[in-house]
Structure 1
Amino acid sequence: MFGGGGMNPRKMQQMMKQMGIDVTEIDAEEVVIRTDDEELVFDGAQVTRMDAQGQETYQIVGEPTTRALGEGDDADASAGDAGGSDDAAGDDDGVPDDDVQLVATRAGVSEGDAREALEAEDGDLAAAISRLE
């Protein structure tokens, strides 16, 4: 960040504190970035908030999955469609298909395995991915 290459992390924190910079780790389960064309979904990402002189900056470290804009947000709007209308609603077990696809993509497993992991973890995305990795 400041070119501290081999600097002791404790020394770096001390210098940042002297300059009025506060760094906080955030325990985020999911981060979604929406653009005009798509959504970038970071599941289980490492998020850091840095507050410097009243200006907050967020750093996200992780591998995003990409999904079409609005996918999963408009479940009611697409309920009349014949093909794929259950994307956000899920099936009989209550696990949304979007969550299944996200876990399957992130963990590199089949949708069946992803669904089983989600069911076992009561729909917790991060726990399901962790279980499969």
Structure 2
Amino acid sequence: MFGGGGMNPRKMQQMMEQMGIDVDELDATEVVISLEDGSELVFSDPDVTKMDARGQETYQVLGDPSEREAAAGAVESGEGDAESADEGDDGIPQGDIDIVVQRAGVSEDDAREALEAADGDLAAAIEHLE
């Protein structure tokens, strides 16, 4: 990282602490990277290091990946769930309606109307109904 060559590991750790860098080894058993083309890179038993440099987290994965096609459900679930969560043409997710019904103790129709009036803002819809 710093080209320390024969640098003492303790000295390296002290320098990193002075710069506000915290490094942790993670006990990962598998890392999967999903690619846009629908394939996945799978790292089995990788060496994973997490570095936190003043709030910016960076992960380093070391290992030999194998490539595979993404599982059919994994590729489709990302977009399909959002569409199936919508109720009708109003664009209000059923989950949001359920939350308003539960929190405000009103009917689904009242919850939907409140969400539409609040442009989908859950907190505003609940506040309006309470």
Q: TM-score, normalised by structure 1?
A: 0.52
For residue 67 of structure 2, what is the aligned residue in structure 1?
A: 66
For residue 2 of structure 1, what is the aligned residue in structure 2?
A: 2
Tell me the percent identity.
66
1:1-133 aligned at under 5 Å gives the runs: 1-37=1-37, 38-70=39-71, 73=74
Deviation for aligned residue 1:73: 3.7
What is the rounded CA distance, in whole Å, between the counterparts of 1:39 and 1:14 in structure 2? 38
More helix by share: 2
Q: SS of the counterpart of 1:6? A: coil
More strand by share: 2
CA RMSD of aligned residues (A): 1.6
What is the rounded CA distance, in whole Å, between the counterparts of 1:9 and 1:56 in structure 2? 22
What is the rounded CA distance, in whole Å, between the counterparts of 1:71 and 1:9 in structure 2? 46
Deviation for aligned residue 1:6: 1.6
Deviation for aligned residue 1:36: 1.1
**Structure 1, unaligned stretches of length 5 or more?**
75-133
Q: TM-score, normalised by structure 2?
A: 0.53
Cα shift readout 1:34-79 (whole Å, capped 9, x = no counterpart): 11121000111010000001000000011111001335747xxxxx
What is the rounded CA distance, in whole Å, between the counterparts of 1:63 and 1:20 in structure 2? 31
Deviation >6 Å, runs of 4+: none
Structure 2 CA distance for partners of 1:32 and 1:48, relative to 1, 3 Å: same
For residue 78 of structure 2, what is the aligned residue in structure 1?
A: none
What is the rounded CA distance, in whole Å, between the counterparts of 1:13 and 1:57 in structure 2? 17
What is the rounded CA distance, in whole Å, between the counterparts of 1:10 and 1:30 in structure 2? 30
**Structure possessing the higher radius of gyration over alpha carbons:** 2
Structure 2 CA distance for partners of 1:7 and 1:69, relative to 1, 3 Å: same
What is the rounded CA distance, in whole Å, between the counterparts of 1:34 and 1:67 in structure 2? 10
